[in-house]
Amino acid sequence: MRFAKSLIPTLREDPADAEAISHRLMVRAGLVRQLAAGIYVYLPLGQRVLDKITAIVREEMNAIGGQEVTLPVLHPAEIWQQSGRWDAIGDEMFRLKDRNGRDMCLGMTHEEVVAWLAAREIRSYRDLPQIWYQIQTKERDEARPRSGVLRTREFLMKDSYTLDLDVAALDRAYAAHKAAYCTIFDRCGVRYLVVESDPGMMGGLGSHEFMAPSAAGEDEVAVCRACGYAANVELARSVPAPPPPATEARVEVATPNAKTIAEVSALLGLEPRRTVKSLLYVAAKAGPVLALVRGDHTLHERKLARLLGEEVRPAHPDEVRGALGAGLGSIGPVGVTVPVVADEALRAGRWVVGANRDGYHLRGVSAGVDFECRFADLHAAVAGEGCPECGAPLAVERVIEIGNIFKLGTKYSVPLGAMVLDEAGKERPIVMGSYGIGPARIAAAAVEQSHDADGIIWPWAIAPFHAHLVLVGARDQAQADAAEAIYRSLWAAGIETLFDDRDERPGVKFKDADLVGLPVRVTVGTALAKGGVVEVRSRRTRAELRVPPGGVVAAVREVAGPG
RNA sequence: CGGGGUGUGGCGCAGCCCGGUAGCGCACCUGCUUUGGGAGCAGGGGGCCGGAGGUUCAAAUCCUCUCACCCCGACCA
């Protein structure tokens, strides 16, 4: 591709509305432009990156027996009503009516359509297993699009669905996907972790997420470097260090104006980990519940919601007073009538808790003695706590979710009637799995993980082109002729090359080459006239070879390194 | 949905507090010079100052409402 006639609008300055590194660089390098919040145009270079990624995805999905299909973007409400998600999903689904007033929606995922299709076309256990996949646009009215291409309202997604007769077969399909995903991300050149995840509203039998470490990530994972335990913090277990043993008797103490853990512990001269944080939540169906975590811990709302099996929200101040008779900052579990759930860390020990009397706390309180409660893992894992598997200290990292895999079970096949007859002639619901990959997130993660002050440094496999051919003296006929010949020889050798044939000053071309970040730069300039050589340089290491024009192809391969 | 911020030529910004009819850098067009890390000089084109009301002799500037976008949080199937 020739730069002079291409749409590669590079920007000298950072766009004002971009914060994340990948966002800034993808806009500056001319890969994408924003049309509206969370809605992006992919320009030629950006499109080529997506094409590279989706080509890898296709190869690996085909390799495990995937069959590519295209499912509609526009769905009738009926199938979503059948699965129950028409009501379960709120504002995040784009809804509309057709001219006849029928309810429709835009597809945010395709379990319903797959189950619908399976219900019609799959009848016998002999038809199983099936793996169907598509690479197609998804629409989700995100509450808050952000970080450029990382969280958008319209995005490309590879989604696949497995259909099996039983859970054992699902486990095999799931394992095949897990392995294929690792191959895909390895080939794309991104670093990632495979972590246990919360199946959330997808429901089902288990799930994993593929997470690319990056400061721009929205999720956090807890990782054990000793044994390999890794989980989303939404679900990660961890073993906090216990506070020193205490034997003090229960006593009420005045704590005027001390409302926060920090204030109470300072007033009493105690470490925060000797106190208990009491939080009143309201569950949608079960009503108020008092959740307890240690003073130095943070309650993870997803963990509470998962424990209760329904969504929760913090209680309003007047609800707190109504249920417990005291204001925020003075509440505790002793003598209350609402159900109490306590974090595992509170099983043993004596604690400082709110007295349910404004301005007072209780010291020396024990779970099971002074109040009754259910124990569960409720606190968010933090770095340094013990690994639940081996006890080594956990690390917590920010990550970008680039893929996920879910064992769905029969959650969609039953309501949509996707049944088969088994060998015994008995009707059974198909056991499903669903699996997603976000190509744009892979691209953004690659940029986040691989860039420098001058621009992007693309991994070879997903770079929009492999080589950036810079013609320094566009008006020097000898240089121009040599560059043309090199351009043809590179393409002939299978090295995809962007030829900067613009009549620009060298500095502009070099800056743009660094910004766009193709793995190898080939410079045709004055060195050609002086020494008969051109320069072949690695974007990543900046190592440079000077070779005669005939040696460029070999030099590009050498400089690019393995892969 | 809560909190914070920003909207002024294509991009990045100043002007707003203290009202007087819009400016800078880059980009763009023409000419000359220049050509290995975002060139110089000269000339030139381009702006409903996000939108709607209001105050005023006069509004980018003050007031009210509204829209859009960004950031933090909530949410994230």
pLDDT score, position A259: 78
Beta strands in A125-242 (DSSP E): 130-139, 154-164, 193-196, 206-213, 219-224, 230-232
Provide the 3-class DSSP secondary structure of residue A327: coil
Cα separation values, A262 from A88, A116, A254, Å: 39, 55, 16
Helices A477-492 and A552-560 pack at an angle, to 10 degrees, of 60
Q: Name the band, by pLDDT with cuts 50, 70 and 90, for residue A256.
A: confident
Q: Establish whether the CB of A44 is closer than 7 Å to any nucleic acid atom in strand B.
A: no
Name which of A380, A354, A429, A391 is nearest A123 in CA terms.
Answer: A429
Rounded, the Å distance between the CA of A534 and C1' of B42 is 38
Give the bases of strand B that a protein CB approaches within 7 Å: 1-2, 6, 11-13, 25-27, 34-39, 68-77
Q: Establish whether the CB of A218 is closer than 7 Å to any nucleic acid atom in strand B.
A: yes
The distance of Cα A515 from the centroid of its chain, to the nearest Å, equals: 26
pLDDT score, position A417: 96
Give per-residue pLDDT as tens, A220-240: 999 999 999 999 988 888 998
Q: Establish whether the CB of A103 is closer than 7 Å to any nucleic acid atom in strand B.
A: no
Secondary structure letter of residue A209 according to DSSP:
E
ipTM, two decimals, is 0.94
Q: Which of residues 470-509 of A touch strand B (CB under 7 A)?
A: 472-473, 475, 505-508
In the block, which residue shows the tokens 């079960």?
A286
**Segment A4-26 mean pLDDT:** 94
Nearest-nucleotide field for A39 (CA, C1'): B69
Q: Name the band, by pLDDT with cuts 50, 70 and 90, for residue A61.
A: very high
Closest residue to B35 by CA to C1' distance?
A505
Maximum mean pLDDT: which of A253-262, A316-325, A376-385: A376-385
Q: Which of residues 133-162 of A touch strand B (CB under 7 A)?
A: 140, 142-148, 151
Name which of A195, A220, A223, A221 is nearest A392 in CA terms.
Answer: A223
Q: What percent of chain A has pLDDT over 90?
A: 76
Distance CA A110, CA A96 (A): 17
Rounded, the Å distance between the CA of A448 and C1' of B7 is 29
pLDDT score, position A309: 79
Q: Establish whether the CB of A14 is closer than 7 Å to any nucleic acid atom in strand B.
A: yes
Q: Are strands A467-471 and A520-524 parallel, antiparallel or unpaired?
A: parallel
Asked if residues A108 and A66 have their Cβ atoms less than 8 Å apart, the reply is no
pLDDT score, position A203: 57
Q: Establish whether the CB of A445 is closer than 7 Å to any nucleic acid atom in strand B.
A: no
Give per-residue pLDDT as tens, A150-173: 999 999 999 999 999 999 999 999
pLDDT score, position A201: 53
Kindly list the structural domains of chain A, giving each domain's residue range(s) and its CATH number in brackets, ordered by start. Answer: 43-236+396-447 (3.30.930.10), 251-376 (3.90.960.10), 465-560 (3.40.50.800)
Nearest-nucleotide field for A34 (CA, C1'): B69
Asked if residues A80 and A144 have their Cβ atoms less than 8 Å apart, the reply is no
Closest residue to B76 by CA to C1' distance?
A142
Whether A449 shows a pLDDT value over 60: the answer reads yes
In the block, which residue shows the tokens 């005669």?
A548
Maximum mean pLDDT: which of A155-169, A194-208, A211-225: A155-169
Closest residue to B70 by CA to C1' distance?
A17
Q: Among A49-58, A273-282, A307-316, which is the least confidently predicted range?
A: A307-316
Whether A462 shows a pLDDT value over 60: the answer reads yes
C-alpha torsion sign, points A213, A216, A222, A226? positive
**Segment A19-30 mean pLDDT:** 95
Distance CA A429, CA A414 (A): 6
Question: Who contacts A216 (Cβ-Cβ below 8 Å, separation ≥6)?
Answer: A20, A21, A22, A147, A150, A398, A400, A444, A448
Nearest-nucleotide field for A544 (CA, C1'): B36
The distance of Cα A147 from the centroid of its chain, to the nearest Å, equals: 12
Rounded, the Å distance between the CA of A510 and C1' of B36 is 9
Q: Among A14-23, A43-52, A507-516, which is the least confidently predicted range?
A: A14-23
Rounded, the Å distance between the CA of A17 and C1' of B51 is 21
Rounded, the Å distance between the CA of A307 and C1' of B19 is 62
Rounded, the Å distance between the CA of A35 and C1' of B56 is 39
Question: Who contacts A355 (Cβ-Cβ below 8 Å, separation ≥6)?
Answer: A252, A326, A330, A332, A334, A361, A362
Q: The pTM is what?
A: 0.93
Q: Name the band, by pLDDT with cuts 50, 70 and 90, for residue A202.
A: low
Q: Name the band, by pLDDT with cuts 50, 70 and 90, for residue A271.
A: confident
Nearest-nucleotide field for A436 (CA, C1'): B77
